[in-house]
Chain A
Amino acid sequence: MENVLKVPTMAELFAAGKQPEVLFWVGCAGSFDDRAKKITKAFVKILNKAGVSFAVLGTEESCTGDPAKRAGNEFLFQMQAVTNIEVLNSYGIKKVVTACPHCFNTIKNEYPGLGGTYEVIHHTQFLRDLVSEGRITLEGGKYKGKRVTYHDPCYLGRANSIYEAPRELIKKLDAELVEMKSCRKKGLCCGAGGAQMFKEAENGDKEVNIERTEQALETKPEIIAAACPFCNTMITDGVKNKEKEASVGVMDIAELIASAQDL
């Protein structure tokens, strides 16, 4: 059941003299990557269902500059940052939610020094708040009793100490949360961070995403939950490499919630 997504842009709302409750920062992966677009849509469906007033920047959004910065190109990063900050400030944005931990980290931590200070929330935190405010309910859905393991994205976990929001949501779905041997502060990277997503890995004896996928599969999960479009891609590839895609799903927390509600 494909509902029509309601996705207002800031430009439209601005023209109508309206200000949304929150800006949804979609990010490059969320806008262009086929797998990540599904996450974006799942999140929007939940926002629509819960009646959240939000908007996106649409064509006015541009890369936060995270991959450039982690690759060492501070110039390009700051050019991107300053451009984005100008747009955000011109709309008087106060609150930003994003489904990408890299965008989250950059806007939250690195934009303030360049003139862009906002309340920045990761979508797992936002969803948790929607649940606790009773704007969406999760219990007793189709994930009841399913074995779900959760992969901590580095830029959400270690980088910003957000470990519990995604886990609370998984538990709220009545799923059985099983932890990998390295989780939370000791969570192993998926291999995509620091601009690795965009290049071949250096010589070694294994790919990082395979190592991490093996750790995840050790927990015998039905679903590996992620909260980052890049982690999702890396682990999806890992599961395919292990030929387990028929029995183990890799899903974003937003997708779990949306599909639990048949959105």
Chain B
Amino acid sequence: MELLPQILFGVVLLAGIGFFAKNVKTLRRNIKLGKNVVVSDNKPLRWRNMARIALGQTKMVVRPIAGLLHIIVYVGFIIINIEVLEIIIDGLFGTHRIFAPLGVIYNFLIGSFEILALLVIIAVVIFWIRRNIIRLKRFIKPEMQGWPKNDGNIILYIELVLMLLFLTMNGADFQLQQMNVAHYTHAGSFPVSQYIALLFEGLDVSSLILIERTAWWLHIVGILCFLNYLYYSKHLHILLAFPNTYYGRTTPKGQFSNLESVTKEVKLMMDPDADPFAAPVENENDTPPEKFGASDVVDLNWVQLLNSYTCTECGRCTSECPANQTGKKLSPRKIMMDTRDRLEEVGKNIDANKGEFKEDGKQLLGDYISHEEIWACTSCNACVEACPVSIDPLSIIMDMRQYLVMEQSAAPSELNNMMSNIENNGAPWPYNQMDRINWTQEN
């Protein structure tokens, strides 16, 4: 009988972690649906970027208010997780406040957790107000309707409830300690929850224990649920921000990668010694000619897919986007959200069809992202610069342009004119190459 709570706890913990592991597996599988790119350069710089941008939140504070509030919630969450460790040990071994012998240090820790919890509550409330009362422009764009909007609020509610449970648990514990109830050793300092304890004055021991235990259980079960909510939510960024900033670009933002498959063909065309009748050099396995650019998620590379899962839907990219600012349909955030939604759809399709993707007649380009969006981009890199977690929406836009132009010849006609001018005259306008130096003679 004594052991029952411990066994129950073990089961809940295992279920929570097991389900999470399953989600992580799906996540990995989906990301690996992307094309392979090797990212092995510049390791020291990559670690530094991760430390600076993900851990150090340097990009968040570009917008000071949101940045500061975010840091509070972020630090709060990381630090309060030390408390979760204690909860897990207590839960498994039937102990109570196992770290209490740390004495002064313990008091200090619990005290600072409480203050952080209070700060988190304040930050979360302000966040909620920004989203729902002030209705900041970037949170009410068209792509934020429905689930994304609810998701943003649900996260705030969960965080609020978790913090309140934590404080309630401590408040009841504090009250029990005051009453010298056995098992409730005097430990910890309770700068915040001592005020909650005031509400509990006059309650008998068994009700107090009931409150304390309920809060304790709900808190830890809540955390496990939250852990499993991540996969379905923009909140996944709390984990993926780390790999994503590591794998983020380290080259100048203006440098777009050169398509290797094209290089091979161009070299062959330009090489006067090439034998036009020579059998094409093939890899061992007869691969079909590579598709240029991207029309669906599997044409993107895995870093781009990781990007899509990492997106926090904060809309900083979109609010800096010149196209979006001037009322065009393009929103770089939507590019990332669409990519993730389509990737999820492909993943579910694979799960439903015993590990094989069954053609569903849909693709990212056209069914999710319109041509109009793709062509509205000025390639200005404002979105890339603005993203606090090193996401590159521009690279996806450019890959789709490549598909439209090289596979579909579907460029807007003015661009076709521009390109044929370059082809024929070596300039985007219909001028004669031989007139290129005439400016030296003109006044």
Chain A residues with a Cβ under 8 A of chain B: 2, 5, 7, 9, 26, 28, 30-33, 37, 40-41, 44, 56, 58-59, 61-63, 65, 67-76, 78-80, 82-83, 105, 108-110, 113-114, 154-155, 158-161, 185-186, 188-189, 191-208, 210-212
Contacts and interface: CB of A to CB of B under 8 A. Distances in A.
Contact of B436 (A59, A80, A110): A59
A76 B433 CA distance: 17
B405 A211 contact: no
B377 A67 contact: no
B434 A154 contact: no
A32 B372 CA distance: 30
A67 B422 contact: yes
A31 B61 CA distance: 43
A229 to B, nearest CB: 12
A37 B439 contact: yes
B42 to A, nearest CB: 15
A72 B293 contact: yes
A30 to B, nearest CB: 8
Interface in B242-300: 251-259, 262-263, 265-267, 269-270, 292-293
Contact of A114 (B263, B404, B422): B263
Contacts of B412: 199-200
Interface stretch (B12-20, B228-236, B326-334, B349-357): B326-334
Interface of B: 251-259, 262-263, 265-267, 269-270, 292-293, 320, 322-323, 325-330, 372, 375-382, 384-386, 398, 400-406, 411-412, 414-415, 417-419, 422-423, 426-429, 431, 433-437, 439-440, 442-443
A32 B385 CA distance: 33
Nearest to A105: B254
Nearest to A5: B440
Contact of B326 (A61, A159, A211): A211
A112 to B, nearest CB: 9
B406 A201 contact: no
B263 to A, nearest CB: 6
Report which residue of A155, A194, A197, A212 has the largest number of chain B beta carbons within 10 angstroms of its beta carbon.
A194
B326 A204 contact: yes
A194 B256 contact: no
B380 A193 contact: yes
A5 B439 CA distance: 10
Nearest to A71: B415
A31 B428 CA distance: 12
Nearest to B431: A32
17 contacts: A7-B440, A41-B439, A59-B437, A61-B426, A71-B419, A74-B258, A74-B406, A75-B265, A78-B266, A109-B251, A159-B253, A159-B254, A193-B379, A201-B326, A202-B330, A205-B326, A208-B325
A204 B411 contact: no
Contact of B406 (A30, A72, A161, A207): A72
A105 B255 contact: yes
A62 B426 contact: yes
Given A61-B436, A160-B254, A204 B381 contact: no
A258 to B, nearest CB: 14
A72 B405 contact: yes
A76 B293 CA distance: 14
A198 B382 contact: no
B422 A80 contact: yes
Contacts of A82: 266-267, 270
Given A62-B433, A68-B422, A73-B405, A202 B328 contact: yes
Contacts of A192: 378
B103 to A, nearest CB: 48
B197 to A, nearest CB: 48
Q: Which 3 A-B pairs have the closest CB atoms?
A: A159-B254, A72-B401, A194-B379
A187 B252 CA distance: 17
Contacts of B259: 74, 78
B401 A71 contact: yes
A192 B325 CA distance: 15
A211 B380 CA distance: 15
A78 B255 contact: no
A157 to B, nearest CB: 9
A194 B382 CA distance: 13
Given A31-B431, A105-B252, A201-B326, 17 more contacts: A28-B426, A31-B437, A59-B434, A67-B422, A70-B379, A72-B293, A73-B411, A76-B422, A78-B262, A154-B382, A186-B382, A186-B385, A189-B322, A194-B377, A202-B330, A208-B325, A211-B326
Contacts of B419: 67-68, 71, 73, 76
A109 B258 CA distance: 10
Contacts of B293: 72
A46 to B, nearest CB: 15
A225 B230 CA distance: 48
Given A67-B422, A114-B258, A72 B398 contact: yes
Given A76-B423, A110-B256, A198-B414, A28 B327 contact: no
B402 A74 contact: yes
B428 A63 contact: yes
A61 B425 CA distance: 11
B266 to A, nearest CB: 4
Contacts of B323: 202, 204, 208
B59 to A, nearest CB: 11
A208 B263 CA distance: 34
Nearest to A2: B443
A186 B320 contact: yes
Contact of A201 (B376, B426, B431, B436): B376
A197 B417 CA distance: 12
Contacts of B327: 203-206
Contacts of B382: 154, 158, 186, 188-189
A161 B252 contact: yes
Nearest to A4: B440
Contacts of A31: 427, 431, 436-437, 439
A39 B431 CA distance: 19
